[in-house]
Structure formats: structure tokens, C-alpha cells
Amino acid sequence: MEHEQTSVATWIRRHKIRTTLVAVAVVFFGWLLWQGPWVLDRVHLSGTEPGPAAVVTGFRTAVVAAIAGLVAGVGLTYTDRTLRLTRARDDVQRKIAEEGQITDRYSTAIKLLSSDRVIEQLGGIFALERIMRDSQKDYFMVVEVLAAFVRERAPAPSEGDVSAPPGSQGPGVALQAALMVLGRRPEEDEPYSVDLSGVDLRNAILAGARLDGAMLIDSHLHGAYLTGASLRGAHLWGADLTGTDLNDADLRQAEGLTVEQVLASEITSSTKLPAEIRGVRQVEDRIAAVEHRRSQPGN
């Protein structure tokens, strides 16, 4: 209420100023038409020179033309200002409408994601991806939602659990789609890491995925396909990398990565490893063994 009263008072004050300026301008130009010729050209109007009426008429014509030009200029200025204000208002209304549409799309996507039907889950996942690309403001929220979906639907088996969870044969279609979307998300200056800790990613296809700085603590990546993936600065404490295909993967600055994890994985000479691990003799031997096996016919 106080803000509205201040706005009204400001508008009234500006209106009074504009009205005063218009009145002053009218009086000034009226006086100029009446007395201007004698003030500016008194010699020709003294009666000693011929044609005083022509001088008065010419002067007043020039003044009228100047007034007309000034009025036209003011009119154009106000027209331009009005157009700018109209465009600004339209932009604000358009942004409000777009945000409303995105909110509706997000609500629908979440409902689909929580469904038990795979086809609806896929619709929700790809709808969220579209929102992530269309709305930078909602980018981080969508990443968090998809990561939470993976953590909820594919928890890593507890120690000593001998049952065969779905992940042992590879993640389901919806989980694989969520991982794919997370792996190909646009590059943004993310304030936090994608949290995929404690999840069952066995036999997941993550080729070329962007997982820089990702939290993969205690995650099961047994047999996962991470060829060409970027894992720079990823947190890999306790992660199971047995049989994980790391050909051409980038693990530089990876945190928690041990020699034992690397020896259990499928690495090649194109795998980018931390310097302290790459120089280990056992690692070099593992690379040679993997490349030799892959060079054999049928592999």
C-alpha cells in the first residue's frame, strides 16, 4: 500500500511539472509571435524601411514552422517511448506466460516420472530434458530430480546381498534414459556435483557421458560401458569398477581412485588416468593385457 501511494504521488508531481512546462511554452511562443518581430528586427519595423508587414509575416511563419517541427519531434519522442514501454510490458507478460507454461510442463513431467509404466516414465524424463534446455533457471532442479530418480529406482545392493537385482542385467529402459539425459546435459557452471552415489549402474551404457565431478561413491559400475566418458574430478571412493570399460575415458583429477580399482577395470592406452596411477608398473601391464586381448580375432 505504501509503495502504491508513493507511485501515485510521484505520478501527480510529474504531471504537474509537465503541465507547467507546457503552459510556459505556450505563453512563450505566444509572446514570440506577438512581439518577436519587433524584438529581433526592430530596424525594419521602425517605419523607415519598406515592407514591415512582409517582415512580420515571414518571422511569424518561421516561428510557426519551428513550433510545428518541435511538436512533431515531441510527438515522435513520446511515440517511441510508448512503443518501448509497450514492448517492455509485452516482454514481461510473455516471460510470465512462459514461466507458467514451464511450471505446467514440469508438474506434468513429474507425474509421468512417478508412474509405474515405463512409457510414461520415458515421457517424463524427456519432458524434463526439454525443460532443462529451455529454462536455465530450472536447469539445476531438473538435474537433481533425474539424479534422485536414479538413486531411488536403482539403489546399490547391500553388502552380502546375494540376490540378483535388475541392475545385474543392466538398468531398465527408464533408468538408462535418465542416465543418458544426465550424461548429455548442456554444459553449465554447476554449483554442485551430480549425485549418483550408492546406485546400481552395472552394465549401464554411459559412453561419452559428461560426469565431471560426479558423486559416484560406493556405486556399482561393474561392466558399465564408459568409453569416451569424462570423469574429471569424479568422486570414486568405494566404487566398483570391475570390468568397467574405460577405453578413452578421462579420469584425471578423479578423487578416491585407487590402483586396485583401475586394475579391475578395462583400461587402454587411451584411458586418461591420474599421473600417480598411470606410472604404476601393474597398471601398464594391465593396459598391455587388455589391448592384447582386444586385438585377438573375435574380440
Contacts of 187 (CB under 8 A, 6+ apart): 210
Q: Which residues lie closer than 8 Å to 270 by C-beta, 6 or more apart?
A: 247, 248
Distance CA 255, CA 235 (A): 5
Q: Which three cell numbers stand for residue 251?
A: 579420469
Residue 16: exposed, middle, or buried by beta-carbon count in 10 A (0-12, 13-18, 19+)?
A: exposed
Residue pLDDT tens, the chain, 299 long: 555 556 656 767 776 777 777 677 767 666 666 566 655 555 555 554 555 655 556 666 766 677 777 777 777 777 777 777 777 776 766 776 666 677 888 999 999 999 999 999 999 999 999 999 988 888 999 999 999 999 999 998 776 554 545 445 668 899 999 999 999 998 887 888 899 999 999 999 999 999 999 999 999 999 999 999 999 999 999 999 999 999 999 999 999 999 999 999 999 999 999 999 988 999 999 999 999 998 888 76
Q: Assess contact for 140 and 190: CB atoms under 8 A.
A: yes
The phi and psi torsions of 122 (rounded to 5 degrees) equal: -60, -40
C-alpha angle 257-181-148 in degrees, rounded to nearest 5: 70
CA distance 285 to 109: 49
pTM of the model: 0.67
